[in-house]
Amino acid sequence: MAGWMIMLGSAFVVVTGYEVISGLRSLQSRDAVEKFLSEPPGDGLGLSVESALSILHGSAMIAAGCATAAGVLGFHILKRNRGARIALTVLAVPLFLAGIVTGGFMSSLVAVASVMLWLQPARDWFDGKAAPPVERAPEQRAPVWPPPVPPTEQPPADPRAFDGFGKTLTAPFSTGAGKPVTDVRRPDILVVAAIITWVFAGFALISSVIGIAVVASSPDVLLDQIAEQNPELASQGVTDATLIASTYFMGAVTVAWSALACVCAALMLRRSARAALALLVLSAFTAAICFVSTLASVVLALPALAAIVVVALLRRADSRAWFATGPSPVRPTYRPPAGG
């Protein structure tokens, strides 16, 4: 996963760097640089517009060059090349710093993936160590009552009273394998994944509820802000009713999505494999949606990164082993003797 993250993220950084360089001398870019240099903290840098454009051009070139090398090294990572891992670690620093010019999110993703190569279980894979065996609980079977007669013994000729007949079965039964069920301790990373989900999904849930309440009480505030940020919407035929309806719809979807993620995180800690799978799918879609939305707001890079971390934690071998050994309690069944 880290290798593919490095290759795909590097490709995005190269494409974004090319777009930045091609549009760096445009009038829009020049106006943005002039505005930045005329306000704090840009006015304290002492740079001219041409100097700032040159710095941006050089940073974009460095980010694109480092990303190109990182993409090639990511391919060699999949072949267990230790030299590629070291080179990626060295490239992660200039790629992260220079990648701020191209947006910062994808370059940060490549840097994080490079760090993941030094963590478990990637470190054992590079060292050639076999993965630890997955501890599975013995198969549980419902006990047969009354117990079958051993083949060495013959059934009594005359019927006799059976000890315990008619009583409630409260004693524990052993498994069909004759061994007690050994449980696997819950990994701490699942608690971390649940906390991350509750923090970000809870914040999105509360923010959406507050936003819906504000729009319902005073819609003019929202319309004034949208008109100030995008004055061309009115000329494109977008009415106020459409904007309000879209806001309600997006708020309702966010509330339902966030609430479902919080519930799945709680059920996951109760060893529900289906809840873990649902949380994995929700986190993956959240990362994809937030990544696309970073083109409009860089702030969404933070929940995208958090969702990627949750996906990585749920896909770890120890997490999957804990769900695979989940106990499925079997209630004892009573089967009356033949003719009884």
User: What are the DSSP calls for 222-267, one per residue?
Assistant: HHHHHHHH-GGGTTTT--HHHHHHHHHHHHHHHHHHHHHHHHHHHH
Q: Residue 147 has what pLDDT?
A: 59
Q: Residue 245 has what pLDDT?
A: 81
Q: Residue 232 has what pLDDT?
A: 65
Q: How far is CA 318 from the centre of its chain?
A: 16
Q: Residue 149 has what pLDDT?
A: 57
Q: Residue 334 has what pLDDT?
A: 45
List the Cα angle 218/212/264 in 5-degree steps: 170
Q: Residue 168 has what pLDDT?
A: 47
Q: Residue 259 has what pLDDT?
A: 93
**Distant-in-sequence, close-in-space partners of 191: CB < 8 Å, separation ≥ 6:** 269
| 3/79 Cα distance (integer angstroms) | 10
Low-confidence ranges of the chain (pLDDT < 50): 137, 164, 167-182, 328-334, 340
pLDDT tens, position by position, 248-293: 888 888 899 999 999 999 999 988 999 999 999 999 888 888 877 7
pLDDT tens, position by position, 148-161: 655 555 555 555 55
Got the DSSP string for 291-305? HHHTTT-GGGHHHHH
Q: Residue 5 has what pLDDT?
A: 84
Q: What letter represents residue 307's amino acid?
A: A
| 276/281 Cα distance (integer angstroms) | 9
Q: Residue 289 has what pLDDT?
A: 85
In whole angstroms, how far apart are CA 70 and each of 108, 255, 312? 13, 38, 21
- Locate 271 and state its tokens: 């060893």
3-state secondary structure of 57: helix
| 283/253 Cα distance (integer angstroms) | 15
- Locate 182 and state its tokens: 């050994």
| 16/208 Cα distance (integer angstroms) | 31
The whole-chain average pLDDT of the chain stands at 76
Cα–Cα nearest to 287, from 3, 5, 97: 5
Q: Residue 170 has what pLDDT?
A: 44
CB-hemisphere CA count at 13 Å for 167?
Answer: 8
Cβ–Cβ under 8 Å, residues 33 and 50: no
From the CB of residue 64, how many other CB atoms can be counted at a distance below 10 Å? 24
From the CB of residue 262, how many other CB atoms can be counted at a distance below 10 Å? 19
**Secondary structure letter of residue 44 according to DSSP:** G
Pinpoint the alpha helices (H) of the chain: 2-22, 27-38, 49-77, 82-98, 105-116, 122-126, 188-217, 219-229, 240-268, 273-293, 301-314, 317-324
